[in-house]
Structure 1
Amino acid sequence: MTHLVLAPMEGLVDWRVRQLLSATGGFDLCVTEFIRVSQNLFPAHVFYRYCPELLQGGKTASGTPVLVQLMGHDPELMGENAAFAASLGAPGIDINFGCPSKTVNKREAGASLLKCPDNLFNIISAVRRAVPDHVPVSAKIRLGYADKELYLDNARAVEAAGAQHLTVHARTKVEGYKPPAHWEYLARIRAAISIPMTGNGEIWSVADYAKCRDISGCDSFMLGRGAIAAPDIANRIKAYDVGQTLAKQSWSVVLTMLLTYIDLMVADDATENHQAGRIKQWVAMIRKGHDQAADCFDQIKRIRDIGELRAKLSEDRDNPENQRQNDQIAAE
């Protein structure tokens, strides 16, 4: 059975999104947003802020394990923070070598480290030494920085350093998120290493998944923007694997999820601008998977008050046309 991982998307996939999407079903694993390690050993409250699941056995409310992701360039400091995260109950440590952010890469972190395979080897080795043997260490890379010249060297460095798993985003840092993702490189990396590997990049639909699987030969996939655009995509992929077809979630069901997200933010006392911005960001991405989201986004994009935003989404959800769509999907 295909193994599906919810990607760590900085500024979007927080613990609330992990809770909602893991509860929707289909995901076998989640990864936190990266914790930027630059100067200090962080206190416990920092890890709990990024990964409150540590307080409940390292799993989401529905039982999906959550890896703590670290990003930085200092091997020993990375090791110290990894060891502390493991002591707090992290079920695994993931290391980010894939972030394409200009700010991150100017500070010797993320994908900038792909310029030299020794960077990966030294950091992963230090983390592996620092973390107890029973806690797995994994890494996420891209195909390279400006080009793909070192893609096999980097993958081999990850394995040689002692990582138990590798995730590969099938583009370079310079390519960012521009289509296409080069899934054919995933097959070449799989042939060059012996540790398990997860493929990532440009999987927006069940059809994309099937094509990526056929080209890459992977049986594990990380879903990021595709999971935000279509929150039920993991369930539909799992159904496809056993020869079934699941109808796409109705727009009303998606709106109910967004309203729950608002409730979780309000209960957590997040700032109002932060709340509204996160919701609008999510609706903007859902436009890729639901036609109704385009009209919804146009109506909410200037709303800043979270109460007004919630009222508008509730009104849209309770629209009789959306209720009829629910009934139609249920009948099918």
Structure 2
Amino acid sequence: MTLLLAPMEGLLDFALRDVLTRAGGIDRCVSEFIRVTGTLLPERAFRRVVPELDHGCRTPSGVPVRPQLMGSDAACLAENAARLAAMGAEGIDLNFGCPARVVNRHGGGAALLKEPELLHAIVAAVRRAVPAEVPVSAKMRLGFDDDAQAEDCARALAAAGASELVVHARTRADGYRPPAYWHRVADVRAAVSIPVVANGEIWRVADARRCRAESGGHALMLGRGIVANPGLALAILGDEEGQLPWATLHDLLTVFWGLIVAHIEPRARAGRLKQWLNYLRRTHPEAEEAYQRVRAIADSREVARLLGLPVAPDGPPLRRAA
């Protein structure tokens, strides 16, 4: 079985990729999207989102990270993909699933699912721009307003040279509301000959079992479920419900906090930690208690003290993002 870590804008950044891949069970990560809007980005813009580029495009635990690009200009996306490949990117992923209104208004993300011909043009341009050994993958939803064109979009992506397709089993109109329509992933799989990965609403091992049965495949992409339960990938591989002990999770929180202190301004540190705790409290009673203890506190030093984490000087980041 292949388990991928989802791109989640504003949440699943390099710091969370680090700690979740340390927990084990993840085969590959996809970065948050890098927005491309008519210009060739400087290398520092790519490193800001994917600092793993400076380390063989691997997390500290050795898990590959594939940068994701988002945009609607095929030529510009191709130019930026070529630069990423020259920087040593493990592969190039393309975003055709973001449901954000501001992104869709500008013709990006899931809005492109209304135009299969443009999907084809984008993937074909990126495929031509990067070396043959660099895989080009894509992530899509079932559609924009409905799923009538899901198979057409998948065929367009595969015909253009995509080597793998992740399908978030909801439309843009569905947002993140349950359920996820895993059976439609099976229809997409039947329409193409490339590997298809199922994504959406996998919170527990039982969900993973049902998703695999309904989608007809073995590869899954985990998002909010593994943020809430960092032991989910290992539990899925062991086919038994379970989670990491709180002592292990507290060690991961300590690593996460160290990365936050090193890279994020003091005023945003407490918020980032509470954001993850807010997910963790779905599965860990200790996280619920910790979250309630610090919920109303903005001072990062006080938050660290209350949670038994290293108290850092209330100064600028030790190492700013590139």
Task: Please give the TM-score of this superposition, normalised by the length of structure 1.
Answer: 0.91
Quick one: distance in 2 between partners of 1:212 and 1:247? 18
Q: Secondary structure at the match of 2:32?
A: coil
Q: Which consecutive unaligned segments of at least 5 residues does structure 1 have?
A: 316-332
Q: Which amino acid aligns with 2:307?
A: L
Quick one: distance in 2 between partners of 1:162 and 1:41? 23
**Alpha-carbon offset, residue 252 of structure 1:** 3.1
TM alignment of 1:31-180, pairs within 5 A = 31-180=30-179
Aligned to 2:203: 204
Say if 2:186 is the partner of 1:192. no
Aligned to 1:221: 220
Quick one: distance in 2 between partners of 1:46 and 1:284? 29
8 A contact 1:170–1:199 mirrored in 2: yes
**Alpha-carbon offset, residue 246 of structure 1:** 6.9
**Alpha-carbon offset, residue 266 of structure 1:** 1.2
Quick one: distance in 2 between partners of 1:114 and 1:247? 37
Report the more deviating stretch, 8-17 or 288-297.
288-297
Q: Which amino acid aligns with 1:304?
A: A
Quick one: distance in 1 between partners of 2:306 and 2:184? 45
Q: Which amino acid aligns with 1:251?
A: W
8 A contact 2:204–2:241 mirrored in 1: no
Quick one: distance in 2 between partners of 1:237 and 1:35? 30
Quick one: distance in 1 between partners of 2:280 and 2:229? 6
**Alpha-carbon offset, residue 247 of structure 1:** 4.1
8 A contact 1:98–1:173 mirrored in 2: yes
Offset from partner CA, 1:18-42 (integer Å, 9 cap, x none)? 1111111100000111000002101
Quick one: distance in 1 between partners of 2:307 and 2:212? 36
Aligned to 1:272: 266
**Alpha-carbon offset, residue 263 of structure 1:** 0.9
**Alpha-carbon offset, residue 76 of structure 1:** 0.2
Quick one: distance in 2 between partners of 1:257 and 1:19? 9
Q: Secondary structure at the match of 1:34?
A: strand
Aligned to 1:305: 299
CA RMSD of aligned residues (A): 1.2
**Alpha-carbon offset, residue 272 of structure 1:** 1.6
Aligned to 2:249: 254
8 A contact 1:255–1:313 mirrored in 2: no
8 A contact 2:4–2:221 mirrored in 1: yes
Quick one: distance in 2 between partners of 1:177 and 1:101? 11
Say if 2:18 is the partner of 1:5. no
**Alpha-carbon offset, residue 116 of structure 1:** 1.2
Q: Which amino acid aligns with 2:63?
A: T
Quick one: distance in 1 between partners of 2:120 and 2:295? 45
Quick one: distance in 2 between partners of 1:33 and 1:42? 16
Quick one: distance in 1 between partners of 2:100 and 2:293? 30
**Alpha-carbon offset, residue 63 of structure 1:** 1.0
Task: Please give the TM-score of this superposition, normalised by the length of structure 2.
Answer: 0.93
8 A contact 2:145–2:171 mirrored in 1: yes
